[in-house]
């Protein structure tokens, strides 16, 4: 038997017992005639003690080094100097026998919470990185979340069903990862960007309630919250309306927060997409703090300040109690919004002084009277700071103001990671016009149903049609999204037409779905959560990487496996693939 207990288990009440532990050496220190060794496993750390009157044992431990794998047997004893920071800090093991199970070379970084290893090194030796408490805890959390999800959905009658990973390439999404087929030379599978059409087919099959915790693949440029392969909690239900889905999955989030965090989520507020854009400049507003946009076109236009006079949009935020911002801080904020990633031309500010007067950076154009009108539009009070952006393109300016709002939220400490603000964003537009391609794209995906009352507008003003689509947003992160689907093959065909598909093309790409619908498709809808994002939010992480065991880097590489790699010529021949090198 390798062990009787784990390294995190023994307490004072175990004193006197003879136990065997196995684990890795965290550190070894000699003090006086004694040698102490901290032995670590997944569950914790226990102190081993070697007495000098056991020279053979002392010799053995003194030859060992960091990360060696040891098995130690001994008696549990009360420590004279206890360590209150460790769960096993009241005891130690007086070792009577020691087995070296394996030696280890010195790891490239220290296996500690505050490791000396940089990002690249940690990723290359991810298996060592995962020995660190801080990282492993995220995997434990992830495991707990998936258990909570399965538990809730199972109780609600959902069936977990696996769908294939080798599927066909579909237009209209992100770029596909493709896999060549040896048995069908020149032909390729694609890896699923999501099991969207398959889960809809399962509804045609009468499965009624489906879910799957599933890997999805998208060949997109990577950012902190994106990985080329990621995991969805993918769900679909039959005979439902939007309201049914929102209630069911609000329930899921409530269950997750309660089991994982002990938090009772309040009823989730709902915000229309239109309001989200108008008041927060984003379809995923962070509503942990207020600071809503106030539009100022009516108040500030027409006083000779050309920047505002020529603007299509003037809007601002009021940072409560931030009038103490110094000139230097305001200059830094101006620089912040002028960075190319944000792209504002400048920033106008106004402080509300103690006497209630408004002192602004554009005082020479505006009378106190006008500035007071502005102050009341914000409901601002003495001590507040108003920040204003303007621009020729309303949507662009709103996005810039959104960045400024989030930055102010950060600076004023209003984005506490331990506080959660969840909401539904609803009534998304069905379509999005692309200036570049001069065509409409589906805002969610082509299977999303328009709101029934907006269907007539499909012929006259498709851009204004609203969808039965919804996103769940937590702390400014889109954690999930879905829609009620089209279940009528003719409406689906019309949707493809609006998206610029010829009937032949639609048949070729999506014939399987439209044909299936002819055999009696139930009304259905669903959604998918991004598991990685959800877990990283619950873990308070800035990046989804640290809740993924073996993530890829920003170039889409797995630096540990060194993937992707070139193939051997024989393998390429077999696949009938000719690699042309640039
Ligand atoms: N398949 C969708 C997605 O990946 C989610 C859904 O509509 O259910 O975003």
Mutate to test the pocket of ligand 1, among 234, 238, 428 (most ligand atoms within 8 A of CB): 234
Same structural domain, 320 and 380: yes
Percentage of the chain lying above the pLDDT 90 cut: 94
User: Which residues line the pocket of ligand 1, CB cutoff 6 A?
Assistant: 194, 196, 481-483, 526-528
Last residue of a domain, one of 56, 86, 102: 102
**Which atom of ligand 1 lies at the shortest distance from residue 193's CA?**
4
Mutate to test the pocket of ligand 1, among 194, 430, 443 (most ligand atoms within 8 A of CB): 194
d(CA 573, CA 182): 10
**Which atom of ligand 1 lies at the shortest distance from residue 448's CA?**
7
What is the pTM (predicted TM-score) of this model?
A: 0.94
Distance in Å, CA 149 to ligand 1 centroid: 17
Helix axis angle for 503-517 and 489-498, nearest 10°, is 160
Residue 224 has pLDDT above 70, yes or no: no
Q: Determine the length of the chain.
A: 582
**Residues 250-277: tens digit of each pLDDT:** 999 999 999 999 999 999 999 999 999 9
Is 367 in a helix, a strand, or coil? coil
d(CA 307, CA 388): 12
Distance in Å, CA 236 to ligand 1 centroid: 10
Ligand 1, atom 4, lies closest to the CA of 194
Token pair recorded at residue 128 = 């060592």
CATH number at residue 94: 2.40.50.140
Distance in Å, CA 473 to ligand 1 centroid: 14
**Which atom of ligand 1 lies at the shortest distance from residue 483's CA?**
7
Predicted local distance difference test score (pLDDT) of residue 580: 87
**Which atom of ligand 1 lies at the shortest distance from residue 234's CA?**
8
- Burial-class residue 578 by CB neighbours within 10 Å (0-12, 13-18, 19+): exposed
Mutate to test the pocket of ligand 1, among 167, 524, 527 (most ligand atoms within 8 A of CB): 527
Helix axis angle for 531-539 and 133-155, nearest 10°, is 120
Same structural domain, 406 and 440: no
Residue 15 has pLDDT above 90, yes or no: yes
Residue 339 has pLDDT above 70, yes or no: yes
Distance in Å, CA 525 to ligand 1 centroid: 10
Distance in Å, CA 97 to ligand 1 centroid: 57
Please give the tally of structural domains in the chain.
3
CATH number at residue 322: 3.30.1360.30
Predicted local distance difference test score (pLDDT) of residue 161: 98
d(CA 31, CA 155): 57
Chain Cα centroid distance, residue 404: 21
Range 22-48 burial, b when 16+ CB lie within 10 A, else e: bbbbbebeeeeeebebbbbbeebbbbb
Same structural domain, 496 and 445: yes
Segment 28-55 shows an average pLDDT of: 94
d(CA 139, CA 543): 14
* Residues 6+ positions from 520 with CB-CB distance below 8 Å: 204
Mean pLDDT for the chain overall: 96
Domain of residue 307, residue span: 289-411
* Residues 6+ positions from 481 with CB-CB distance below 8 Å: 444, 469, 470, 471, 472, 527, 528
**Bridge-based pairing state of the strands 422-426 and 270-272:** parallel
Q: Is residue 580 part of a domain?
A: no
Last residue of a domain, one of 382, 411, 440: 411
d(CA 246, CA 239): 14
Ligand 1, atom 1, lies closest to the CA of 196
Same structural domain, 427 and 558: yes
Distance in Å, CA 440 to ligand 1 centroid: 19
Distance in Å, CA 234 to ligand 1 centroid: 7
List the alpha helices (DSSP H) in 366-518: 368-378, 394-411, 457-460, 489-498, 503-517
* Residues 6+ positions from 118 with CB-CB distance below 8 Å: 109
d(CA 310, CA 300): 11
Q: Is residue 64 part of a domain?
A: yes
Instruction: State the number of CA atoms in the 13 A half-sphere of 378 facing the CB.
Output: 27
Q: Is residue 396 part of a domain?
A: yes
């Amino acid at each position: 038997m390798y062990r009787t207990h784990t390294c995190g288990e023994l307490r004072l009440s175990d004193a006197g017992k003879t136990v065997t532990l196995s684990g890795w050496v965290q550190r070894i220190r000699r003090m006086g005639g004694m040698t102490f060794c901290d032995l670590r496993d997944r569950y914790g750390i226990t102190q081993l003690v070697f007495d000098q009157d056991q020279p053979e044992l002392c010799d053995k431990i003194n030859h060992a080094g960091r990360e060696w794998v040891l098995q130690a047997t001994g008696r549990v004893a009360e420590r004279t100097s206890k360590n209150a920071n460790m769960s096993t800090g009241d005891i130690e093991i007086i070792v009577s026998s020691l087995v070296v199970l394996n030696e280890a070379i010195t790891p490239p970084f220290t296996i500690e919470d505050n490791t000396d290893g940089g990002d690249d090194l940690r990723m290359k030796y991810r298996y060592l990185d995962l020995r660190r408490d801080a990282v492993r805890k995220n995997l434990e959390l992830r495991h707990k979340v998936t258990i909570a999800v399965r538990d809730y959905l199972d109780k609600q009658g959902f069936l977990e069903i696996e769908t294939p990973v080798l599927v066909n390439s579909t237009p209209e999404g992100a770029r596909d990862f493709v896999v060549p087929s040896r048995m069908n030379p020149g032909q390729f599978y694609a890896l699923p960007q999501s099991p969207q059409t398959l889960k809809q087919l399962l509804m045609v099959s009468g499965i009624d309630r489906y879910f799957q915790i599933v890997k999805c693949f998208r060949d997109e440029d990577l950012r902190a919250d994106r990985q080329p392969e990621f995991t969805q909690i993918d769900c679909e239900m039959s005979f439902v309306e939007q309201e049914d889905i929102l209630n069911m999955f609000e329930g899921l989030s409530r269950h997750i927060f309660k089991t994982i965090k002990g938090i009772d989520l309040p009823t989730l507020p709902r915000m229309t997409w239109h309001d989200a854009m108008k008041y927060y400049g984003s379809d995923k507003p962070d509503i942990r703090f207020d600071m809503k946009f106030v539009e100022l076109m009516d108040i500030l236009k027409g006083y000779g300040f050309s920047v505002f006079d020529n603007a299509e949009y003037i809007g601002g935020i009021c940072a409560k109690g931030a009038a103490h911002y110094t000139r230097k801080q305001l200059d830094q904020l101006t620089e912040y919004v002028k960075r190319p990633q944000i792209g504002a031309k400048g920033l106008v500010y106004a402080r509300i002084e103690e006497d209630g007067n408004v002192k602004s950076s554009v005082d020479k154009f505006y009378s106190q009277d006008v500035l007071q009108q502005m102050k009341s539009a914000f409901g601002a009070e003495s001590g507040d700071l108003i920040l204003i952006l303007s621009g020729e393109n309303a949507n662009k300016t709103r996005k810039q103001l959104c960045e400024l709002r989030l930055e102010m939220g950060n600076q004023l400490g209003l984005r506490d990671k331990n506080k959660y603000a969840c909401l539904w964003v609803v009534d998304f537009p069905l379509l999005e016009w692309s200036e570049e391609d001069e065509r409409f794209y589906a805002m969610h995906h082509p299977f999303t149903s328009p709101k029934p009352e907006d269907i007539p507008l499909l012929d006259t003003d498709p851009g204004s049609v609203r969808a039965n689509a919804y996103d769940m947003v937590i702390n400014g992160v889109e954690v999930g999204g879905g829609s009620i689907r089209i279940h009528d093959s003719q409406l689906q065909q019309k949707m493809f037409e609006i998206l610029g598909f010829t009937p032949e093309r639609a048949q070729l790409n999506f014939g399987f779905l439209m044909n299936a619908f002819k055999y009696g498709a139930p009304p259905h809808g669903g959604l998918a959560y991004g598991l990685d994002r959800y877990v990283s939010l619950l873990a308070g992480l800035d990046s989804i990487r640290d809740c993924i065991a073996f993530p890829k880097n920003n170039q889409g590489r797995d630096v540990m496996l060194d993937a992707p790699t070139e193939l051997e010529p024989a393998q390429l021949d077999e696949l009938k693939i000719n690699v042309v090198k640039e």
